[in-house]
Structure 1
């Protein structure tokens, strides 16, 4: 595991941070990370995606990047990794941070990445809904998604799920931003949604600077300090390269 410092670049030189949530949740899960980054004087924006199609979510993320008056570190959790992979080619983006996230290659989607799970790997308890969207089985949500959260918090997240659309699941990445932008990757070692070995394979393929922490798929909620530390390390690295 890589040990990271906690840099404090000048406000004038540091990149803005744009946070992108994944499927089944909304942007409120970033609150802990947001508060740490704001405390450390970062300009932070949280994207609220409908998660109904990759194209629409990438467009909403593009709009958030456009609104920033400085270079951007783009951060994605879970399905949000596919979004930042598609949206991250935006010229303002100077770095990508994947938080236990999908990092598809050209022609890949989340659906293709999860199509052939390794033997013995946990299978996410996804339940198709009559309206064509997807939810996680509420009774299995805590175990699969948020095993290291307070049970009451996990139960709330299960009941407050944001339906995930099939066009988001099947949305194909066209030009992966990680092929042209530096990236960082946080592997959640206890993840039961995206197997840690799959995370390691994607981070290796992307050439990401990688750290590993003990934690569930909801590590961005349970360990906001460790997540914020990686984001700040990425922001400091791109600032140093620019100077």
Structure 2
């Protein structure tokens, strides 16, 4: 057992000493893809493949979704390994993460995909609490350890209505539990106030109402792109999402360079 621990420790040291990932300062920032609640980074595979084919370095962050503090720390660790410019992309709760972590000087643009974009002092909980009366409640199931999941039977229709049925079922059965503390994490300094932002609003989102997303996009003065799709639009429409990310990569770099 001691030999195994020593080997793992050596591997960890070797990893930490690896060269940082370099982005192309001529116009190709590194793209960091951040998942939201109930899912993990594997859902970005389609977007990842397109961006890589188009010449971008891409990091898919596997954040723990335990608390905003933990998730921002994971994002900052990833940013520390990257040389050059970065575009942060957040889906759903991932939008909260990029709002808090996006003030890093490497970040040239933010892309919100069916996401929350809170203001200073706001959290997921406070945004949800301000929803109009009569807004449907999500079938969230709490567990004894303080984590949350969506009801598996309702997940496909609510979260992934335009995803292939077998994929939507897999997503429901492979949910990453969401830490209840993550809902309460408050933004200190919203990065969208100092970074150009893009916002993709899926017209058929049943998790975060499209009207609410438009309101947050308008507040952030984000470039708004509406597309057909469910909350899982990053899975069902990877071409559309990748196109907006590339638009942000080019436009954000230009605006930051002015």
TM-score by length of 1: 0.93
Q: SS of the counterpart of 2:188?
A: coil
2:126 paired with 1:105: no
Contact kept, 8 Å, 1:122 with 1:195, in 2: the verdict is no
**Residue number in structure 2 paired with 1:141:** 155
Aligned length: 234
- Aligned-pair Cα RMSD in Å: 1.3
Question: Partners in 2 of 1:85 and 1:70 — Cα distance?
Answer: 20
Question: Partners in 2 of 1:240 and 1:109 — Cα distance?
Answer: 31
Q: Which runs of 4+ in 1 moved over 4 A?
A: none
Return the match for 2:216 from 202, 210, 214: 202
What are the equivalent positions in structure 2 for 1:109-124 lying under 5 Å apart?
109-124=123-138
Contact kept, 8 Å, 2:25 with 2:85, in 1: the verdict is no
Q: SS of the counterpart of 2:170?
A: helix
**Residue number in structure 1 paired with 2:205:** 191
- Deviations along 1:148-173, whole A, 9 cap, x unmatched? 01111111000000000011111111
**Residue number in structure 2 paired with 1:155:** 169
Return the structure number with greater relative CO, CA threshold 8 A, min gap 6: 1
2:243 paired with 1:229: yes
TM-score by length of 2: 0.88
Shift, 1:120, TM fit? 4.6
**Residue number in structure 2 paired with 1:60:** 74
Please say which structure displays the higher CA radius of gyration.
2
Question: Partners in 2 of 1:64 and 1:233 — Cα distance?
Answer: 22
Contact kept, 8 Å, 2:202 with 2:230, in 1: the verdict is yes
**Residue number in structure 1 paired with 2:15:** none
Question: Partners in 2 of 1:182 and 1:239 — Cα distance?
Answer: 9
2:65 paired with 1:47: no
2:92 paired with 1:92: no
